[in-house]
Amino acid sequence: KQEVTQIPAALSVPEGENLVLNCSFTDSAIYNLQWFRQDPGKGLTSLLLIQSSQREQTSGRLNASLDKSSGRSTLYIAASQPGDSATYLCAVRPLSAGGTSYGKLTFGQGTILTVHP
């Protein structure tokens, strides 16, 4: 059964710092991996999707990497801002038997990020 773990559970940094959030998963048979942002009491906003064949993906100040063989992904946030404060969730989409995937996502518990001015 796929398990997804994120560390640290919480992170507090001053504005302007570069930071790294970590995600690990137990089964390397994945279809893709998505990073989401969740603001308090709100829905999930997709930030980046990395296909299983990719090593990294970039969007603005965000860079996500994937090492499928070791079961790890990192989300790098450059020059953090107070508006980046949120919970960041990592989710993997496993491969089903036969190499297909119906889209089910398995989530980590999230990293709560606080960026203070």
Q: What 3-state DSSP class applies to 81? A: coil
Q: Between 13 and 22, whose beta carbon lies closer to other proteins?
A: 22
Site for other proteins in 61-100 (CB under 8 A): 89, 91, 96, 100
Q: What 3-state DSSP class applies to 53? A: coil
Q: Between 92 and 115, whose beta carbon lies closer to other proteins?
A: 92
Residue 28 CA to chain centroid, in angstroms? 15
Q: Between 46 and 70, whose beta carbon lies closer to other proteins?
A: 46
Among 21, 31, 64, 111, binds other proteins (CB under 8 A): 31
Task: Please tell me the distance from the alpha carbon of residue 93 to that of residue 81, in angstroms, as a whole number.
Answer: 30
